[in-house]
A and B are shown apart, each in its own frame.
Chain A
Amino acid sequence: MTNALHPTRRRLLGAGAALGGMATLGLAGCATTGGPSIGRVVVVGGGFGGSTAARYLKMWGGNVDVTLVERNAQFVSCPISNYVIGGHAGMDRITRGYDGLKALGVKLVQGEVTAIDAAAKKVRLANGTELPYDRLVISPGIGFMTEQTGGLQAQLDSGRVLHSWQAGPQTAALRKQLEAMPDGGVFAMTIPKVPYRCPPGPYERACMVASYFKQAKPKSKVLVLDANPEVQSKKALFERAFAQHYQGILEYRANNEVKEVVTQGSQLVAKLEFDDVKADVLNVIPAQRAGDLARNTAGLVNMNNRWVGVNWLTMESTAVPGVHVLGDATFSAPAMPKSGHMANQHAKVAAAAIIQLLKGEAVNSTPVVMNTCYSFVTRTDVVHVASVHQYDAADKTFKTVPGSGGVSAAANQLEGRYALSWADNIWADMLALPA
């Protein structure tokens, strides 16, 4: 990164000169408020990655001009959303506002980015507004490869089939479908081949729906159709939960990839390779790629025609200079999960690096990121998986530390409390929520 140092400073000075009063930017070095701005950063996407980046740029950078563009008025969390789908909490438990970021001085813009001009360093919004930047951060989340499953897009458009893999209205709608389903009905869910957002998420969802049926609709069934050959995360712990708590309610089928979705009377049919599965409520988690913003608007997708390659020291795209990409959209380092927790960690690496780049300093050459993921297997009992990833200079990627990380010894209630506390802490960390 040292050789990127001088061109960066040159570009910055050029930008500063063009803006008149910003000629000293990048040289001030001090991070107190009230001095000249050290640069303008536009962050697109107010989820786990983007919000954290905005918060830490302000907290660590002092006088960085930070604008956060987000299309929704409020943040709704994917983590804990399965708990809501299971009926154990309401939407308010996973919904938070952006006022904490505003109070820090982050400029909040509710809108949709329609174009990115990386050469001119400008972002254009649907309403015509143009936002110039010195560094751009994009946290685009996931997009769905609905073209892989016949009939799926039309079913999603009509709201008959839900993915509920982006939290918000889809979360509330799936809960409503489950509540409306008569006892004795079948809830079927399909899991795409890896990689997808939140590896343990589908299995947690199966447990949460089964926990609801066990208590309120005991004649109903949960059918899990997994395109993968086995449970993809916390395998032994989920298999134990299926057998211990949901025998006769939950059925797990490996190597079952949904090919087509059709309507048959009041029911839905998931067509598999060898047979058809009828369901009253069908939840299809589609195959995934980097979000449309990365793909269509920014031209950032350069890995397997699916994900965004990044320099792990800065989170800068390997396709478009000056654009930093966070979270699920990135082409993951080995054993690095696509999770909200990891997106938050990406954002901190990016925020530290962007501040150093804006100041013309060398970036941290030894970043560390870690992941913790809690999954509910019953209303009270939770299992975790954790990992720590140190940067490997030789291979220019993050690698897990041998002997570190792991899963819960068994599902337990203490971690049930920790799971909810984790959520409150990470939401506060990213959104600067008041105590």
Chain B
Amino acid sequence: MRQRLPIIATVVVFLLLYVAACFRFEGFGTLRVFFNFLSDNAFLGVIAVGLTFVILTGGIDLSVGAMLGCAGIMVADLITKFHLHPGLATLIVLGFGALVGWTQGMLVEKFKLPSFLVTLGGLFFCRGFSLWISRESMQIDHPAFSELSQFSIKLPAKASLPVSALVWLVILAIGAYLARQTRFGRTTYAIGGNEASARLMGLPVSKTKVLIYTFSGFCAALGGLVFALYTGSGNAVSGTGLELDAIAAVVIGGTLLSGGYGSILGSFIGVMILGVIQTAISFDGTLSSWWTKIFIGALLLIFILLQKLIERSVRAN
């Protein structure tokens, strides 16, 4: 019960914010606005799925924001300059993301380097690499690509689910399945609970950790593709500071930064909370955009303090 407290707090915060916003702003409560949360935050949501696994083991991945920009500019470059088919370009970009993630995982696991330093290196690398591809924003002109970005499933009440939202929901389902129903997922939790114990229990700790960073790199690249689809272009500097939003979403979603506790669905709600805050502030009109950062920071502080309280009471047991 005590361990469930963060996720309960997350759901309560989401409901309170959502209901309050619905009362405060006309038209906030419509189905269309709700589904817009899904499509507007899909890139962040996709990234958060991979990052949740990393944080569940007690690590951190700072390279996700830079990878988003890198994947976007890469796919744009491959399609526009090299005239590759978008499908092939997508595969290449996803492979690249996984490769960068794998490299980071190997450095963290094999050489016992701190994850924040390694992924800091990853951040620099991805930013440099994307600027090297192109400093300018690149439009993506390809019939298949535009068709894909326009496709959406129509829902009642003028709501619709575009591809980006669908990708998010699919990766969410995969993430939740991996975390809950596979040995890979359970090993992830065991590592977060106590890494040394997990090794002594004979679990494949090294393999799992490398895979987790690989998956996080893959998700970040996928997030970049979703973002490119959403904006119709690639830009080397997009996703600046996004790693912080992603970490905030995961933590607010109830995942303990020390690892071991948390869930993929929690991170989903965490992303939705950020979405509600952002949308509410834009609905308000009088509140400026920086209030988003301050709100998120304050929320993050509250959740971190809550986590510490839980940790303490668990230890006192």
Is B a genuine binding partner of A? no
Residues of B within 8 A of A (CB): none
Residues of A within 8 A of B (CB): none
